[in-house]
Amino acid sequence: MADEVLNAEGLNCPLPILRAKKALKGLTAGQVLEVRATDPGSVADFAAFCNQTGNELLSSTSEGNIYKFEIKRA
């Protein structure tokens, strides 16, 4: 269960990552952010973002053209 949900649908790179970065700053360590995006490039972008920032990508799923990511703040 996410502590916060970020709707980044309709936004293209790099906006979903930038908005997620801002949202994660508002969370405390261990809290989970769910991001919903429609940009297919966001799959690779969020994996790289979590790898570089130390945040944990808990899940990456898709439902039709909507990609959902659950990110646990480091």
User: What DSSP string describes 1-70?
Assistant: --SEEEEETT--TTHHHHHHHHHHHTSPTT-EEEEEE--TTHHHHHHHHHHHH--EEEEEEEETTEEEEE
Q: How many domains does the chain have?
A: 1
Is residue 68, in this structure, part of any structural domain at all? no
Domain enclosing residue 13, as ranges: 4-59
Q: For 12-47, write each residue's pLDDT tens digit.
A: 999 999 999 999 999 999 999 999 999 999 999 999
**What CATH number is associated with residue 33?**
3.30.110.40
Please indicate, yes or no, if residue 15 is contained in any of the structural domains: yes
pTM: 0.96
Catalytic amino acids?
13
